[in-house]
Amino acid sequence: MLTHFSCLQRFLSTTIMEGVVLKAPSFTFPNPNSTFRSSIARRRYSYYLSVSASTVRETGPASIGSASLGHRTRPDFPILHQEVNGSKLVYLDNAATSQKPVAVLKALQNYYEGYNSNVHRGIHYLSAKATDEYELARKKVAAFINAAESREIVFTRNATEAINLVAYSWGLANLKPGDEIILTIAEHHSAIVPWQLAAQKTGAVLKFVNLNENEIPDVLELKGMLSAKTKLVMVHHVSNVLASVLPMEDIVRWAHDAGAKVLVDACQSVPHMVVDVQSLDADFLVASSHKMCGPTGVGFLYGKANHLSDMPPFLGGGEMISDVYLDYSTYAEPPSRFEAGTPAIGEAIGLGAAIDYLSGIGMKNIHDYGMELANYLYENLCSVPDVRIYGPKPSNKVQRVALCSFNVKNIHPTDIATFLDQQV
């Protein structure tokens, strides 16, 4: 539940389930002429892989034993109560999407069975109930990341849409030819492409920060890039490939000193550590429900109230308007201004239930357990011959989260992923 698997750009990535001992596989593949091998060969063109399950023996050190947080919470996830290829399911793809605890599934069921209705536009009981629960979910998100007020939270379909919202609404209104947007080469495509599009429309220029010798985005290079031309810094908090954690407080302070805004991709940090937007002082921050034990189809944008108030609508339609005339319309105040049409009501309520679940465990407990797993995973992978691990080596000065990207010498990652997925 609390471990991550990630895959991106030729990296085969995996993380350790609680109590799993990593053993070097023999990699004795079936006959090259077999159907299995042929199917792999047909997939060799792909640089992406996604392994949804792997089956391994559950043994490990005493510190990650039967009383671990992972073992205590595993029963909460019905999908894990099954066998795959004859063995208990071990799910290692949480960095792509996490599984859902019973509390979230029940919240969805309760909404659709008990008070399914539209929000903000009816005075009958079901609509009032749905509206109350939907807005309560917004308040839960705000409290979870310590936003100053709930109106700073905009529900979106996912983090990708949230980034696009900022790029099209804030970006198109504020960028001009020659302005600079700073990103790192380790950003997710969802963080790069929207700003490429915004730059093409406005004449702004994208600048990219490289990795340093520890395979971490070079924050000193980033600091040196900042100038009066810099209008936005778009960076991840935690890398879904390198497992590195960036010093966001420093980056935000440097950017603000240069007069730039900061947008934080917090998809991999919000589910695993305490994130305080007021402490970070970020202008914008995005995250996705489905990576934090919540439903798919909903995410959120945090934006400082003054920024959101100055931004024009992203989409037009119902709910985001104040008055509509034949020749013009006036727009609602945020967050409604950015939530056109019927939202993902049940999914937002499910996100609220996921936040309750994570908060009940305690984000510090989740973070501490994740660090234990991260170190255990890294140390054990280092003992496997011919494994190349990407990202920083954990140390007293360098934090590495509980995911790992690696390659095995002379073996295509698709082959390894497929082979491990079929192991019993």
pLDDT of residue 97: 95
The answer to whether the beta carbons of residues 200 and 177 sit under 8 Å apart is: no
pLDDT of residue 30: 37
**How many whole angstroms separate alpha carbon 140 and alpha carbon 31?**
54
pLDDT of residue 395: 85
Q: Does residue 334 fall inside a structural domain?
A: yes
Q: Does residue 420 fall inside a structural domain?
A: no
Residues 6 or more apart in contact with residue 316 via CB below 8 angstroms: 329, 340
**How many whole angstroms separate alpha carbon 78 and alpha carbon 202?**
48
pLDDT of residue 276: 98
The answer to whether the beta carbons of residues 374 and 273 sit under 8 Å apart is: no
Burial class (CB in 10 A: 0-12, 13-18, 19+), 25: middle
Q: Does residue 375 fall inside a structural domain?
A: no
Q: Does residue 64 fall inside a structural domain?
A: no
**How many whole angstroms separate alpha carbon 27 and alpha carbon 411?**
9
Q: Tell me the β-bridge partners of 387.
A: 408
pLDDT of residue 17: 34
3-state helix, strand, coil in the chain (%, to 5): 40, 15, 45
pLDDT in tens, the chain (424 residues): 333 333 322 222 333 333 333 333 443 433 333 333 333 333 332 333 332 333 333 333 334 445 799 999 999 999 999 998 888 888 988 989 999 999 999 999 999 999 999 999 899 999 999 999 999 999 999 999 999 999 999 999 999 999 999 999 999 999 999 999 999 999 999 999 999 999 999 999 999 999 999 999 999 999 999 999 999 999 999 999 999 999 999 999 999 999 999 999 999 999 999 999 999 999 999 999 999 999 999 999 999 999 999 999 999 999 999 999 999 999 999 999 999 999 999 999 999 999 999 999 999 999 999 999 999 999 999 999 999 999 999 888 888 998 899 999 999 999 998 888 887 5
Query: What secondary structure letter does DSSP report for 410?
Result: T
3-state SS assignment for residue 88: strand
Q: Does residue 239 fall inside a structural domain?
A: yes
248 Cα distance to chain centroid? 16
Number of domains observed in the structure of the chain: 1
Distances (CA, A) of 417 to 26, 40, 59, 127: 14, 10, 21, 47
**How many whole angstroms separate alpha carbon 20 and alpha carbon 300?**
33
Q: Does residue 294 fall inside a structural domain?
A: yes
pLDDT of residue 43: 33
The answer to whether the beta carbons of residues 334 and 154 sit under 8 Å apart is: yes
The answer to whether the beta carbons of residues 406 and 11 sit under 8 Å apart is: yes
| Structure tokens given for 230 | 């810099």
User: What CATH number is associated with residue 276?
Assistant: 3.40.640.10
Q: Does residue 213 fall inside a structural domain?
A: yes
The answer to whether the beta carbons of residues 167 and 195 sit under 8 Å apart is: yes
Residues 6 or more apart in contact with residue 383 via CB below 8 angstroms: none
Q: Does residue 340 fall inside a structural domain?
A: yes
Rounded to two decimals, what is the model's pTM? Answer: 0.86
- Residue 246, domain extent: 102-360
